Amino acid sequence: MIEFGKKTILITGAAGFIGAALAKRVCTENPDVKVIGFDSVNNYYDVKLKIHRLAQLAEYKNFEFIKGNLADKQAVDGLFKKYHPDIVVNLAAQAGVRYSIDHPDAYIEANIIGFYNILEACRHYMPEHLVYASSSSVYGGNKKVPFSVDDKVDNPVSLYAATKKSNELLAHAYSKLYNIPSTGLRFFTVYGPAGRPDMAYFGFTNKLIKGEKIQIFNYGNCKRDFTYIDDIVEGVIRVMAKAPEKKEGKDGLPLPPYKVYNIGNSHPENLLTFVKILQEELIRAGVLPKDYDFEAHKEMVPMQPGDVPVTYADTSALEKDFGFKPTTQLRDGLRTFANWYKTFYML
């Protein structure tokens, strides 16, 4: 267990999937820590899920929630001025590759302007460490696998990916100019209970229950590095506790205290295998009947704009610096999700 003493930790996107799970873990294991949750609670997906997550967090005496928009510079400045967070974890973002094709404004507002406001606040209030969410999408159509943090990532195939790469560049500039320790985390296809309904495992489940067809992209020839939520949270906590070291270069100026890591399962699964395991676990949990006709509800379709055929994380840097590697097997993670889905939506 990693202890944070009596620090104040700001988690943006606290009503989101990863943000809520992280806040819950930190509050549980660190009763002396003050966790400030910040979120706009927008309606990109089912707001009931966000309210459910926040209701769980409200049970912790060391958690305080503030509703606000990262793109509101005055609100972000006021947040930092009031709480002077020691550690900032920026998980707030407009997520989703396909949504970015039709709703570009949301990505510029949340992922560019919002992140800029966080960086500016860090410049003025100097937290010990800024940790922020990047994404595996920055690798674009990278043909070399597994994806390493040393790979060139200059060819995004979606606006979402471009905004996440921009976050890394902006963070690097602020780290160099103002000596702000910052760490970017490239998450690989995060899944689990109380997750995001726009993700495949959740969306497929919703459609199958309604008797609708699920679309399997690229005719099933896709591979994803599915990473269970508890593994993501473990990785984030370890990173939070160990900021990049501040050092001076030969010119007497600070070297940027800046790092980027992959957090992924390092075991890409074929989409058809994933669907097979999901259906088995949904039947096992009683979400779907044992005689459900999956073949009648599958539709093989071409690749969608912005998608990539494979994601695959090289986590050697994470293992080297933090002694951690995600280990949760896909079936175990999907079983937990299926059981949660049954309880949350059907009981």
Exposure string over 5-24, b if 16+ CB within 10 A, otherwise e: eebbbbbbbbbbbbbbbbbb
Task: Answer yes or no: is 138 within a domain.
Answer: yes
Task: Answer yes or no: is 205 within a domain.
Answer: no
Q: Quick one: what percent of the chain has pLDDT higher than 90? A: 90
Range of the domain at 130: 8-195+226-265+311-328
Mean pLDDT for all residues in the chain: 95
Residue 146: band (very low, low, confident or very high) from pLDDT cuts 50, 70, 90 = very high
Task: Answer yes or no: is 306 within a domain.
Answer: no
User: What is the pLDDT at residue 245?
Assistant: 96
Task: Answer yes or no: is 34 within a domain.
Answer: yes
Task: Answer yes or no: is 338 within a domain.
Answer: no
What domain count does the chain have?
A: 1
Contact predicate 317/149, CB 8 Å: yes
Residue 252 scores a pLDDT above 90: no
- Coil, strand or helix: which one is 14? coil
Q: What is the mean pLDDT of residues 318-333?
A: 97
Max CA distance (Å), the chain = 70
User: What is the pLDDT at residue 219?
Assistant: 84
Contact predicate 90/62, CB 8 Å: no
pLDDT digits (tens, 9 = 90+) for 275-318: 999 999 999 999 999 999 999 999 999 988 878 888 999 999 99
CATH number of the domain that residue 108 is part of: 3.40.50.720
What does the CA dihedral 247, 250, 253, 259 come to, rounded to 10 degrees?
Answer: -40
Output the six-digit token pair for 280.
């088995």
Q: What is the mean pLDDT of residues 58-70?
A: 98
What are the two backbone dihedrals, phi and then psi, of residue 192, each rounded to the nearest 5 degrees?
145, -175
Task: Answer yes or no: is 300 within a domain.
Answer: no
Task: Answer yes or no: is 235 within a domain.
Answer: yes
CA nearest 53: which of 23, 31, 83? 23
Contact predicate 319/149, CB 8 Å: no
Q: What is the mean pLDDT of residues 101-117?
A: 96
The catalytic residue positions are 160
Task: Answer yes or no: is 207 within a domain.
Answer: no
Residue 343: band (very low, low, confident or very high) from pLDDT cuts 50, 70, 90 = very high
pLDDT digits (tens, 9 = 90+) for 310-324: 899 999 999 999 999
